[in-house]
């Protein structure tokens, strides 16, 4: 049942909830954390944790993508980022980290725009993906919908295992009077690798994306802590409602397609282990992490976090945000942790939450009981 709230005489709106508004409820049965499996499989690729590294230059370099892959997750390299614009991006990353430490800075944004104006070099796309492939982990790269037509052949020829199309918001029915739009269904049909696409935040657009043949859909608008999409565009859908809606679209699409399962991946809004737990509990199969992994000692951003949207040449809608450094990536994900604020041992937290509620498999945990917090006043 959907409840509409009257905003004024001429407009009604739906009451939606963020992850902060919900909490997981223990059941009568508990398990040992050691009995819990965090295994996750998408297409033919198996992982020991439901974690995808967000394709953001402050989070994923070839080295950190390899490291995440060896730890059991999947790193996705931003193929429009600094690693494909500069032969040696380290001096550029150092300069970004050394920019004045303040938010909402036009000077900082202007410098980001200048640095990201360097052309993308197809040969660097191939070289970075080959570097990841040589390490023996799943090779995944991301392009925005605007750049997909231009560079996808280079990406596929380089031997990518998983192709990610990630934008602020992506639809299966983009209409343009000025340029040829990407025919997503035809593109995925002709591509010989599985595709994850998003962001999307509603039942109907998600269902349309599933019908294109995507292996997974990204829920949310990405960026998380570094995104200013809400302020700049007025667009926001609270994540608890968005994940739940799209999980329902997944179920209906399974019935419609005769059993084809499309993975729901929460992208953004999962800044601590509690958020990750609740995202899975609301129906996500996996989480795409930006802020949480930007806190790793190995992260290219050195305690700073930003997305590609922060350097948009015409309408930037993101900030370079200070997130700090917490621990090495392995400790962030697998522990042990000395932090009590949910910033480290993320998978240990998920494992214990599942054990505390009596679940041993991720898909079963999607059915966990949840309550709306008494303190939520949204």
For 224-281, what is each residue's pLDDT tens digit? 555 666 677 777 789 999 999 999 999 999 999 999 999 999 998 899 999 999 999 9
CB 270 within 8 A of CB 225: no
CA–CA gap between residue 245 and residue 206 (Å, rounded): 9
- Mean pLDDT, rounded, for 192-210: 92
Place of tokens 């965090």: 38
Lowest mean per-residue pLDDT among 16-30, 118-132, 288-302: 16-30
> What's the pLDDT score for residue 308?
85
CA–CA gap between residue 337 and residue 292 (Å, rounded): 14
Assigned CATH class of 22-372:
alpha beta
Non-local CB neighbours of 246 within 8 Å, separated by 6+ positions: 200, 201, 202, 203, 206, 217, 219, 264, 283
The whole-model pTM stands at: 0.94
| Side-chain half-sphere CA neighbours of 332 within 13 A | 27
């Amino acid at each position: 049942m959907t409840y509409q709230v009257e905003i004024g005489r001429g407009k009604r709106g739906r009451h939606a909830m963020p992850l902060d508004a919900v909490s997981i409820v223990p059941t009568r049965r508990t398990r040992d954390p050691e009995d819990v499996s965090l295994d996750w499989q998408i297409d033919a690729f198996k992982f020991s944790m439901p974690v995808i590294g967000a394709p953001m230059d402050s989070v994923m370099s070839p080295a950190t993508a390899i490291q995440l892959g060896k730890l059991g997750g999947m790193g996705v390299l931003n193929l429009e980022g600094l690693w494909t614009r500069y032969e040696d991006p380290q001096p550029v990353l150092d300069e970004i980290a050394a920019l004045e430490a303040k938010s909402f800075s036009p000077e900082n944004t202007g410098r980001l725009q200048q640095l990201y104006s360097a052309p993308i070099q197809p040969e660097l796309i191939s070289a970075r993906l080959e570097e990841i492939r040589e390490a023996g982990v799943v090779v995944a790269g991301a392009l925005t919908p605007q750049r997909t037509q231009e560079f996808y052949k280079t990406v596929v020829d380089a031997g990518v295992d998983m192709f990610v199309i990630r934008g602020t918001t992506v639809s299966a029915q983009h209409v343009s009077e000025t340029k040829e739009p990407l025919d997503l269904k035809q593109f995925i049909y002709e591509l010989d690798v599985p595709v994850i696409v998003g962001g999307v935040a509603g039942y109907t657009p998600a269902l349309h994306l599933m019908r294109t043949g995507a292996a997974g859909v990204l829920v949310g608008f990405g960026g998380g802590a570094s995104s200013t999409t809400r302020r700049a565009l007025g667009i926001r859908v609270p994540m608890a409602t968005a994940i739940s809606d799209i999980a329902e679209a997944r179920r209906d699409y399974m019935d419609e397609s005769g059993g084809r399962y499309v993975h729901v991946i929460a992208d953004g809004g999962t800044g601590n282990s509690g958020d990750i737990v609740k995202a899975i509990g609301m129906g996500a199969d996996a989480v795409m992490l930006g802020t949480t992994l930007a806190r790793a000692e190995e992260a290219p951003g050195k305690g700073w976090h930003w997305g590609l949207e922060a350097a948009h040449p015409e309408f930037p809608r993101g900030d370079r945000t200070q997130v700090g450094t917490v621990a090495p990536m392995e400790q962030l994900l697998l522990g042990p942790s000395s932090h009590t604020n949910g910033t480290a041992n993320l998978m240990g937290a998920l494992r214990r939450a599942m054990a505390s509620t009596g679940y041993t498999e991720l898909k079963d945990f999607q059915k966990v009981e949840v309550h709306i917090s008494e303190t939520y006043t949204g």
